[in-house]
Structure 1
Amino acid sequence: MTPRALTIGPDQVGPGNPTYVIAEIGLNHNGEVDIARQLIEVAKSAGCQAVKFQKRTPEISTPESQRDQIRQTPWGEMTYFEYRKRIEFGHDEYAQIDAICKEHDITWFASPWDVPSVDFLEEFGVPTHKVASACLTDLELLERLAATGKPVILSTGMSTMEQIDAAVQVLGTDHLILLHATSTYPLPPEEANLRMITTLAERYDVPVGYSGHETGLQISLAAVAMGATVIERHITLDRAMWGSDQAASVEPGGLRHLVRDIRIIETAMGDGVKRIFPGEEKPMSRLRRFGL
């Protein structure tokens, strides 16, 4: 069977449609709306269909064991909990992001890390929700996401097949997109395991994509050739910027090349029907000595 395509904003996502390219801004805005704006503009100019953020309620999602750990930040020394509160966008910032994305005609959504964050995002009418790999085993969160009735994009890093089975059982398959991922930052090629794209597609019969954390573009492009219907990559203005995800992110020039090359690969894949193409006719008449 061929998995059904799902609608996310103005786009159809799934087999037979253009690869859905998500520019993951995540926390690479470093708590600054102006940086978020620049990243949205980078994603739009590169040809991405969507940008994605992360939404947390720090009081819920910050592990107790890490709250009081001291962290060096661009705003000085503070506890990890204070840092989480400092970098988190609230309603005013997301209202600005919503307006910026509408201005640039690009879809936005986020990964909610707790149930109140789902409710927060629902206020903005996001067309889909993304589940971070770290949240795949949070069944309460998955149940709340399933109740929205919207498409859910589920990353599968740091998970066993049994854990993925349990998550899929909660979410169902009617509105589900799976992303193969390995949650190593940055990702070494030997841990990419791209054949999991085929494994997930055959096991669950849903659209399957790839969320990459590698440096470079080759692995993401190979994922498209292997049938990934979604590509998600972290983006940054400069990989030398402060932040834990910056080094495994794609800079503006790389993002333009990634989208360009994805579209070339899509064109090159063809339909698998053997034919003589117009460009072959002159060489055939000049070089072939025998016909059938």
Structure 2
Amino acid sequence: MAVSIGHNQVGQFEPVYVIGEIGLNHNGDVDLAMQLIDVAAEAGAQAVKFQKRTPAISTPEHMKNTPRDTPWGQMTYLDYRYRVEFSREQYVEIGDYATFRGLDWFASPWDIPSAEFLEDLNVVAHKVASASVTDLAMLEVLASTGKPIILSTGMSTLEQIDRAVEVLGTDNLVMLHATSTYPLPPEEANLRTILTLQDRYPGVPIGYSGHERGLQISIAAVALGAVAVERHITLDRAMWGSDHAASLEPQGFQHLVRDIRIVEEAMGDGVKRVFPGELAPQAKLRRIPA
């Protein structure tokens, strides 16, 4: 069963839905956000994703006054969170630009006011970050919008995912296998969980959200049947910020999309047949006809 997001269909036998996760890699700079939108569009992705917080609500109490060294000087973690948040006007600007570049755009709300903020902007879908799987009150708000929901499943047990699905329903749901280690070591990728989720939630399109270095694990996820792939993108992995090191630079993201398109084409339909390209070798090499 496919889920419609913007002008795209997400599901089996549809093009893999590639999401460029900008997250907070824009560092609060609209121009940088637009450059990252360009990176996603030029690579051939279908969507970009941001993160939206109301810092006073979403920042854990024990972290609010923790000192943080930033490019703007030392400040509390709470002040830093405010510093990198976009205003409504800025979101309108970057959202319009993403649409102009032919991309779907949406964000992960980290609290109920952020969910309402994004719904007011009429995003095409809502993304649930792995950290929010257990925020059932916010999930109820998202479910009430009737919009497609993309649910990441990192740092969560199957029982926690089950409770989230009970709230969200399965009719308009896309689920992403994820492991929330940054950067992700291969031994924690556990890609066979894609198959587990396919079996446990029949009819729900299952994809992959990766935080690894390199491309191999994401490509393998597609070979295992992932119908969507989300990867963080950056202009430079050495930039300041917590997610840049686990992100793909422009050329790497271009190669990822290129390789995903090759793999999805190579997967075929599973029907064994003799292809036209085999006829000449068959005539030349097969000694005993059937």
Same fold (TM over 0.5): yes
1:159 aligns with 2:177: no
Q: Given the alignment, which residue of 43, 48, 56 partners 2:45? A: 48
Partner in structure 1 of residue 218 of structure 2: 220
**Identity over the aligned pairs, expressed in percent?**
67
Look up the equivalent residue of 2:235 and give its one-letter code. L
Deviations 1:124-167 (A, max 9, x none): 11010000000000011101001001111000000111111111
Q: Which amino acid counterpart does residue 191 of structure 1 have in structure 2?
A: E
Counterpart for residue 90 of structure 1: 87
- Any gaps of 5 or more consecutive residues in structure 1? none
- Aligned mates of 1:101, 1:230 — CA distance in 2: 19
> Using the alignment, how far apart are the partners of 1:104 and 1:6 within structure 2?
22
User: Which of 1, 7, 10 is equivalent to 2:7?
Assistant: 10
The TM-score normalised by the length of structure 2 is: 0.99
Who is 1:278 aligned against? 276
Look up the match of 1:69.
Answer: 66
1:33, distance to aligned residue in structure 2 (A): 0.3
**Counterpart position of 1:233:** 231
Is the partner of 2:122 in helix, strand or coil?
A: coil
> How far, CA to CA, are the matches of 2:7 and 2:273 in structure 1?
34
In structure 1, distance between residues paired with 2:183 and 2:83: 25
**Residue 271 (structure 1) shift:** 1.1
Task: Return the letter of the residue paired with 2:212.
Answer: E
SS at match of 1:216: coil
* Residues paired across the two proteins, number: 289
Which of 113, 121, 137 aligns to 1:124? It is 121
Query: Which amino acid counterpart does residue 249 of structure 1 have in structure 2?
Result: S
> 1:110 matched to which residue of 2?
107
Shift in Å, 1:102: 2.3
Provide the residue aligned with 1:169 in structure 2.
166
Q: CA RMSD in A?
A: 0.7
Counterpart amino acid of 2:277? G
Query: Distance in 1 between the 2:2 and 2:178 partners?
Result: 21
SS of residue in 1 equivalent to 2:273? coil
Structure 2 partner of 1:253: 251
**Residue type at the aligned position of 1:270:** G
Which residue in the other structure is 1:39 paired with? 36
Amino acid at match of 1:22: I
Deviations 1:4-32 (A, max 9, x none): 10110000111120000000000000000
What residue is the counterpart of 2:176 in the other structure? 179
Q: Determine the C-alpha separation between the residues in 1 that align with 2:70 and 2:14.
A: 42
Shift of 1:95: 1.2
1:196 equivalent in alignment to 2:193:
yes
Q: Does structure 1 conserve the Cα–Cα contact (< 8 Å) formed by 2:106 and 2:125?
A: yes
- Residue deviations 1:74-115, cap 9 Å, x none? 000000000000001111210111221122121100000001
Q: Could you tell me which of 191, 207, 210 is aligned with 1:209? A: 207
Larger displacement relative to structure 2 (281-290 or 132-141): 281-290
Structure 2 alignment gaps of length 5 or more: none
Offset of residue 35 of structure 1: 0.4
Amino acid at match of 1:103: F
Report how far residue 288 of structure 1 moved: 1.1
Any conservation in 1 of the 2:99–2:105 contact (CA below 8 Å)? no
Query: How big is the shift at 1:256?
Result: 0.5
1:231 counterpart SS class:
strand
Q: TM-score, normalised by structure 1?
A: 0.98
Q: Residue 140 of structure 1 aligns to a residue in which SS?
A: helix
Who is 1:268 aligned against?
Answer: 266
Whole-Å separation in 2 of the counterparts to 1:187 and 1:102: 31
Name the structure 1 match of 2:285: 287
